[in-house]
């Protein structure tokens, strides 16, 4: 990092930014350390969210659970059923930050509530701010990656999300 670099380059600039679902992804890996000993990777394709940049950063978003995909139709059906996410009864997974702290440089810690099947859980996510730029059409965009994990007993789900957000 050069000495002249200002702090603003390590933060999402002030203002409201909306997640661009076409250029964003939410991916997850299930690691089951129980007797099942397996890993499954998948993603959600339908979600929305907004980010507030600047000194008072915040983030919130909604994932539509039925958009789950693991590239295996029967498994997807099972994961959407009442045996797992029960997507008919619980169509949304929600996240809302309670605080965002700058850890070092472009790395931030996001603390917030992740609500799965209407059970809210406090999670701590790692965020890496990638940068802000303007495309050929003059649209201002910002990029960041968010990583975190949730656990149910021996089952660990690691989440990686690459987000492109557009200035509103």
CA distance 105 to 129: 9
CA distance 75 to 80: 9
> Which residues of this protein are in contact with other proteins, per CB under 8 A?
34, 82-86, 109, 111, 116-119, 121-126, 147-154
Least separation in angstroms between residue 92's CB and other proteins is 14
Q: Judged by CB, which is closer to other proteins: 85, or 163? A: 85
CA distance 70 to 29: 10
Q: Judged by CB, which is closer to other proteins: 96, or 126? A: 126
Least separation in angstroms between residue 114's CB and other proteins is 8
Closest by CA position to 163, among listed 13, 23, 28: 23
Non-local (6+) Cβ contacts of 163 within 8 A are 19, 24, 49, 51, 143, 144, 145, 146
Least separation in angstroms between residue 54's CB and other proteins is 23
Q: Judged by CB, which is closer to other proteins: 131, or 154? A: 154
Least separation in angstroms between residue 81's CB and other proteins is 10
């Amino acid at each position: 990092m050069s000495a002249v670099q200002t702090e603003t380059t390590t933060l999402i600039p002030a203002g409201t930014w909306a997640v661009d679902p076409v250029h964003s992804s939410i991916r997850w890996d299930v690691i089951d350390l129980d007797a099942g000993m397996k890993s499954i990777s998948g993603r959600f394709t339908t979600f929305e969210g907004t980010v507030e940049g600047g000194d008072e950063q915040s983030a919130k978003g909604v994932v539509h659970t039925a958009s789950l995909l693991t590239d295996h139709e029967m498994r997807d059906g099972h994961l959407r059923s009442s045996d797992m996410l029960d997507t008919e009864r619980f169509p949304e997974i929600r996240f809302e930050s309670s605080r965002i702290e700058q850890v070092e440089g472009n790395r931030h810690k996001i603390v917030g509530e992740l609500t799965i099947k209407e059970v809210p859980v406090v999670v701590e996510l790692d965020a890496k701010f990638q940068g802000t730029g303007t495309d050929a059409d003059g649209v201002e965009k910002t990029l960041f990656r968010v990583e975190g994990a949730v656990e149910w007993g021996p089952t660990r789900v690691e989440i990686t999300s690459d987000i492109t957000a557009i200035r509103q």
